[in-house]
Structure 1
Amino acid sequence: MKFKVLLILFFSFSLQISHASEDCMSNLSIFAEYYKVKNYDSAYEPWMKVRQECPKINAAVYSYGKRMLEHFIKNSDGDQKVAYQNDLIKLYDEWLVNFPLVKGRNITGEIMSNKAQALLENKLASKIEIFNTFDMAYSTDRASFDDPKPLYSYFKTYFELYKENSEGVTLSKVFDKYEDISERFEEVIDGYAKQLGVILKKEESGQQLSSREKSLKRAYGINSNASVTYLNNLNAIIAKESTCENLIPLYRKNLDENKTDPVWLNRAASRMDSKDCSDDPLFVELVELLHNLNPSANSAYYLGLLNDKKGNINEALKFYNESIELETDNIKKARILYKIASKFKKTNQFSKSRNYARKALEYQPSMGAAYLLISNLYASSANNCGNSQFEKRAVYWLAAKEARKAANVDASIKKTAVRTAESYEGRAPSKTDIFTEGNAGQVIRFNCWIGQSVTVPSL
């Protein structure tokens, strides 16, 4: 008898689970369909049922739910708005419990950093609480903390705490935090550059891109552009503090306790170089300590820079080339090559500058800045190339062509590159000039350092 009762109870319980599962799947499907057509009001009720009754059924409960609540927050006010704001924070906490992994990848840092961003934007916590949430996200799961807006807000919040004289937040710690977060930005940007580089190489080889590859090319460009924009904003925040007047005494003060720390030495040397503080004797000390402690691509580059400043060109080239050989990451290698190209441009060594810029593009085809540098080199040489005024102005066609290449491969500088190309095209011979010369379709060869040719456009 007991067995029969237990059997009945078992089947009854199984039936309830089955019905509950069917209800969950049905509500999931209903809310998802409404969500896709942005009918969030109709999606809300079935979404809440799924969220409450079967929170582990699908990650869309959280990713879709986040966007729905953000929509409701934006389009409501008063107590209702506050309720949606608090529910968004609650949703992030539920997300962490029920779906911290997506396809085996940990996204804890992404969820926690988005929660911190929501706390900030909705003014639901104190600045120190918001910073601590960002900091916990970063220390717990740095790998998935890659959204540029929260990364920027993470540093901005800390910088504001420094400005408010918060206990324990010093200028030295602000610089450390800046270096750490800016390096994370560069990692994210480099990741997009590598993915974009594969597609660009295929495109340059003449192969047809699939519709998926075209979509990915656009997505990588947009995401990279957003990351570059926020990194530039980050740099703007620290700019007033990171002057040579502040950096030199600060690094001098902290040198003794950090002289055996290659990460600190590298960051200090990098910051001094980027802020044109490399003429100070402290820079020499930092570079020598770094190279003796841990010879690397960066330390070799800085030694090249020091020899460059002394006029030891051959010695500088030796260290520059050593820097390139020591670097194993293609994107970082391209960055070093671009730095060297820029240094040669400043000293009017245009041919060497172009060579290094071209090498940079071999390692990072999406580096639009390298194309722009070559474009500028050509434009700067217009008066020194060509045998006639027409030929001199024809150099601008070459310059414009390189600028157009920059616009095609690098969304982060597309507007600048297009403006540059249009400016150079405006300086090139006009249709009237071509008609007057009667040389449409002819090839002009430049025997100066450029060593290139250009075909005069047909009328």
Structure 2
Amino acid sequence: MNTKVLFTIATGLVLSTTNISAQATDCATTASIAYEHAKVKNYASAEEPLWKVRKECPTYSVATYQFGQKLLVDKYKKATGAAKVALANDIITLWKERFQYFPGKTKLGDMHSDIGQLMYDNKIGNLESQFAEFDKAYTEDKGNFKRPKKLYTYFSLFVDLHGEGKKELQGVFDLYDDITEKIENEESRLAKKIATLTEKEEAGTVLTSKEKRKLKNSGINLTAFSKVKAGINQKLGELADCKNLIPLYNGQFDAKKADVAWLKSAAGRMSSKECTDDPLFFKLVESLHKAEPSSKSAYYLGILALKDKKTTTALKYFNQSAELETKASDKAKVYFKIGEIMKKQGSKGKARSYYRKALAQKPSMGVCYLRIASMIASSANSCGEDVFSKRAVYWLAENYARRAGKVDPSLRSTASKFAANYKAKAPSKTDIFNNPGKKSVSIGCWIGETVRVPKL
């Protein structure tokens, strides 16, 4: 190879390297300009350089797609009609490009559920294609599929497809059970935060700004999940009524009577919908207990014993169920059932103990706080030493009622009414003024708690 040829090759390599270096520098410069504008939400100035980076340097940084999504979402929120649909498609395209170039930095649950929601909201595609996106999100990355609205849309689409004869009714029930469990887990996580911070506040500790923010955000998110759960129950509607359940399960019984998972699901749904008077319920429970004596079968035997007014036998089965149960929300249900029996029998201390056990398993079970509040309020005359301390019992009842509304937004209105009623019966400002020096009141008998005297 002569010197001239070698020189030509060397020159080409230098020029090539120089061009690559220049392109990289240009990408960095353009991206820097785009990102700085996008950071302060100056999307009008960010758009041209941002799309230039996206087109010419698609692998430069995932920030291109993050800021690009914010820019498009900002436009999307302000748009209407055909322009809104076009922007929805632009966002979908952007998501797909991000996944193409940065799969390791793209959460499938976020991507597919976001695409599905945009398609649903803007009537892009059909029910099946919309559902397919949500189904990918849920089956491939369930942990990152947790936005309340999207969970509702996913279930709603499944029910609609069932209405068109494209999904089985049993599939509707299976998805309902799975999504409800996911929502209840989120509710319990948030309610636990709220309960902990509320108790801290009631004890007189001033919350930090971070704790106040956490308390507020947990309340907002809990409300969202509560609304979605109510919406899912409404969407399920008559599909889960006894008139549909009984013929469905009767038809499946012979083929599935040895299937423990199916027996648990069928008996559980019939129990929750109060279809327990039908002979099928007894057949389900009998088969379940024979196939696999468990917490579930013991619980249902307790239900049947209660129907026969055999309370002692029922309590024996419920306690067995609680001991065997491993799922927190179901264990809470059993403890609540025992608490209800104890309350009915007038054993308030024992009832409270079981309501607390239920709350320990499922912190969002606000009804337990309402039950405790009711028992405390009904004991005002018997658990106070004098007029002031007797009326002070209502402060404690008020506190419990307010907790109910905080951990379970669906009870907020009811809890607020009870709390207001208890507050009206508690010592007035004049009573507090006439009892100077009283910072707290110790309440005796079965209650055994101390309540703070509100500051004037």
Task: Tell me if TM exceeds 0.5.
Answer: yes
- Look up the match of 2:368: 370
CA distance in 1, matches of 2:300, 2:183: 22
- After TM superposition, give the deviation of residue 193 of structure 1 in Å: 5.6
CA distance in 2, matches of 1:178, 1:150: 14
The question of 1:237 aligning with 2:235 is answered: yes
Query: 1:382-393 residue pairs with structure 2 within 5 A?
Result: 382=380, 393=391
When residues 70 and 205 of structure 1 are mapped into structure 2, their CA distance, relative to the original with a 3 A threshold, is same
Query: 1:317-356 residue pairs with structure 2 within 5 A?
Result: 317-328=315-326, 330=328, 333-334=331-332, 336-342=334-340, 344-345=342-343, 349-356=347-354
Given that residues 195 and 403 in structure 2 are in contact (C-alpha distance below 8 angstroms), is that contact kept between their aligned partners in structure 1? Answer: no
Query: Over residues 165-190 of structure 1, what are the superposed CA-to-partner deviations in whole Å (9 max), with x where a residue is unaligned?
Result: x1333444433332233233334444
CA distance in 1, matches of 2:119, 2:67: 19
Query: 1:43-442 residue pairs with structure 2 within 5 A?
Result: 43-77=46-80, 80-102=83-105, 107-163=107-163, 166-190=164-188, 192=190, 218-328=216-326, 330=328, 333-334=331-332, 336-342=334-340, 344-345=342-343, 349-363=347-361, 368-382=366-380, 393-406=391-404, 417-432=415-430
- Look up the match of 1:30: 33
When residues 295 and 432 of structure 1 are mapped into structure 2, their CA distance, relative to the original with a 3 A threshold, is same
CA distance in 2, matches of 1:418, 1:433: 23
Superposition RMSD on alpha carbons, in Å? 3.9
Given that residues 260 and 292 in structure 2 are in contact (C-alpha distance below 8 angstroms), is that contact kept between their aligned partners in structure 1? Answer: yes
Given that residues 188 and 364 in structure 2 are in contact (C-alpha distance below 8 angstroms), is that contact kept between their aligned partners in structure 1? Answer: no
- After TM superposition, give the deviation of residue 356 of structure 1 in Å: 1.0
When residues 66 and 436 of structure 1 are mapped into structure 2, their CA distance, relative to the original with a 3 A threshold, is same
SS of 1:241's partner is: helix
Moved more, 402-411 or 315-324: 402-411
Moved more, 373-382 or 202-211: 202-211
When residues 56 and 345 of structure 1 are mapped into structure 2, their CA distance, relative to the original with a 3 A threshold, is farther
When residues 234 and 212 of structure 1 are mapped into structure 2, their CA distance, relative to the original with a 3 A threshold, is same
Query: Over residues 356-382 of structure 1, what are the superposed CA-to-partner deviations in whole Å (9 max), with x where a residue is unaligned?
Result: 122234445565443333223323455
When residues 374 and 101 of structure 1 are mapped into structure 2, their CA distance, relative to the original with a 3 A threshold, is farther
Q: TM-score, normalised by structure 1?
A: 0.81
When residues 436 and 111 of structure 1 are mapped into structure 2, their CA distance, relative to the original with a 3 A threshold, is same
CA distance in 2, matches of 1:22, 1:416: 63
Q: How many residues align?
A: 453
Structure 1, gaps ≥5 residues long = none
Matching residue's letter, 1:47: L
Given that residues 221 and 412 in structure 1 are in contact (C-alpha distance below 8 angstroms), is that contact kept between their aligned partners in structure 2? Answer: no
Structure 2, gaps ≥5 residues long = none
When residues 428 and 209 of structure 1 are mapped into structure 2, their CA distance, relative to the original with a 3 A threshold, is closer
- After TM superposition, give the deviation of residue 43 of structure 1 in Å: 2.3
Q: TM-score, normalised by structure 2?
A: 0.82
Query: Over residues 219-253 of structure 1, what are the superposed CA-to-partner deviations in whole Å (9 max), with x where a residue is unaligned?
Result: 44433432232112111222333222322222222
CA distance in 2, matches of 1:277, 1:46: 64
- After TM superposition, give the deviation of residue 114 of structure 1 in Å: 1.1
When residues 33 and 424 of structure 1 are mapped into structure 2, their CA distance, relative to the original with a 3 A threshold, is farther
Question: Quick one: percent identity of the two aligned structures?
Answer: 42
Query: Over residues 237-296 of structure 1, what are the superposed CA-to-partner deviations in whole Å (9 max), with x where a residue is unaligned?
Result: 223332223222222222222223333222222222222223333223323333433444
SS of 1:146's partner is: coil
CA distance in 1, matches of 2:22, 2:324: 63
Question: Radius of gyration: which is bigger?
Answer: 2
SS of 2:240's partner is: coil
- Look up the match of 1:450: 447
